Copies of this chain bind each other. A is one copy, B any other.
Amino acid sequence: MKCEQIGLLVDKYQLTMAQTYFKNNRMKHTACFDYFFRKLPFENGYLVFAGLQDLLEMLVDLRFDERDARFLIDEGFDRQFVDYLRQFRFKGTIYAMREGEVAFPVEPLLRIEGNLIETQIAETLVLNILNFQSLIATKAARVRYAAGERTVSDFGLRRAHGLGGIHASRAAVIGGCDSTSNMLAAFHYDLKAVGTMAHSFVQSFEDELSAFREYARFNPDSCVLLVDTYDTLKSGLPNAVKVARELEAKGHRLVGIRIDSGDLAYLSKKARQMLDQAGLDYVRIAVSNQLDEFVIRSLIEQKAPIDFFGVGTRLITGQPDAALDGVYKLSLFDSRPRMKISDTLIKSTLPGKKRVLRYSNGEGGFLADAIVLDDEQQIDCMYHPFEKEKRFKVAGLHQEDLFIKVMENGEIIMERESVEQIARRVRERLKMLPAEHKRFEYPHIYKVGVSKRLMDLRDSIVKQFRRED
Interfacial residues, chain A to chain B (CB-CB below 8 A): 2-5, 8-17, 19-21, 23-24, 26, 29, 31, 33, 67-68, 71, 75-76, 116, 120, 123-124, 127-129, 131-133, 155, 157-168, 181-184, 186-187, 193-201, 203-204, 214-215, 217-219, 222, 229-231, 234-235, 261-262, 313, 317-325, 328-330, 333, 338-343, 347, 465, 469
Contact = CB atoms under 8 A, between A and B. Distances in A.
Contacts of A71: 183, 186-187
A182 B11 contact: yes
A47 B229 CA distance: 28
B196 A11 contact: no
A33 B465 CA distance: 65
A154 to B, nearest CB: 10
A72 to B, nearest CB: 8
A164 to B, nearest CB: 3
B157 A128 contact: yes
Contacts of A10: 157, 183-184
A42 to B, nearest CB: 13
A225 to B, nearest CB: 12
A203 B333 contact: yes
B15 A183 contact: yes
Contacts of A76: 222
20 contacts: A8-B184, A11-B181, A12-B182, A12-B195, A13-B196, A16-B197, A17-B200, A19-B218, A120-B200, A128-B162, A132-B162, A160-B164, A162-B168, A200-B329, A203-B330, A203-B338, A229-B340, A230-B465, A262-B343, A317-B317
Contacts of A123: 158, 198, 200
A377 to B, nearest CB: 28
B218 A8 contact: no
Total copies of the chain: 2
Given A132-B162, A229-B340, A200 B319 contact: no
Nearest 8 Cβ contacts at the A-B interface: A164-B164, A12-B195, A161-B164, A13-B195, A161-B161, A127-B158, A317-B322, A162-B164
A261 B14 CA distance: 19
A327 to B, nearest CB: 9
A5 B184 contact: yes
Nearest to A232: B343
A317 B313 contact: no
Interface centre among A13, A159, A199, A328 (most CB of B within 10 A): A13
Contacts of A68: 187
Contacts of A186: 12, 71, 75
B116 A193 contact: no
Given A19-B218, A24-B214, A214-B20, A162 B129 contact: yes
B8 A187 contact: yes
A68 B184 CA distance: 9
B167 A162 contact: yes
